[in-house]
Structure 1
Amino acid sequence: MQLTAPATGRTTTTPRRDADGMAVASFILGLLGLLVLNIFLGPIAIVLAAAALWRGTARRGRALLGLTLGVADLVVLVIAMQLSNTVSWSL
């Protein structure tokens, strides 16, 4: 939904649309984080999902998936670190 400002004639986006974008971004980053850079992408996915849920996204399921995948990224990192006795891991 776009709103037109009366004085300037410019269009602005609603906060809900921004929240929907954050929900999708958290899902994608959480999914990518399972394969690469999970130490960075996992926390970013968690923060984006939390912000999207806080702003009232219409894509609540996608935000919850992003949150779950972000946590899974960190769990995979911890398990891989325990198995390899290092601070990082690779495929």
Structure 2
Amino acid sequence: MYLTAPATRPTGTRDADGTAVASFILGLLGLLVLNLVLGPIAVVLAAVALWRGTNRRGRAWLGLGLGLADLVVLAAFMQADHTVSWNF
């Protein structure tokens, strides 16, 4: 009896798909809170997912766009009161 794991485990695409979804969720969440932190993380995760060849390319592109939108929203609110924080 042999108790060995399979030689290869096809996780590359699945990991990239998870990265694309994480990018989308963090970008969406970053529009509401912590956009200084979550925006760049969403951009990096989206770029990694696209580089790895995810099957969820649309989700990765949305994560990239939302991450950039986080930074644009932060810049717009920073212009209004000249601080890094913002509120409604």
Match of residue 4 from structure 2: 8
Match of residue 3 from structure 1: none
The unaligned stretches of length 5 or more in structure 1 are 1-5
CA distance in 2, matches of 1:77, 1:30: 13
CA pair 17-86 structure 1, distance change in 2 beyond 3 A:
same
Q: 1:59 aligns with which of 56, 71, 74?
A: 56
Q: Which has the higher strand share?
A: 1
CA shift, 1:87, in A, is 1.8
Greater RCO, CA 8 A, separation 6+: 2
Q: Percent of aligned pairs with the same residue?
A: 71
How many residue pairs are counted as aligned between the two chains? 86
How does the TM-score come out when normalised to structure 1?
0.87
Moved over 3 A (4+): 10-13
The unaligned stretches of length 5 or more in structure 2 are none
**1:57-88 CA deviation, whole Å, 9 max, x = no partner?**
00000000000000000000000000112121
How does the TM-score come out when normalised to structure 2?
0.90
CA distance in 2, matches of 1:23, 1:87: 28
Match of residue 75 from structure 2: 78
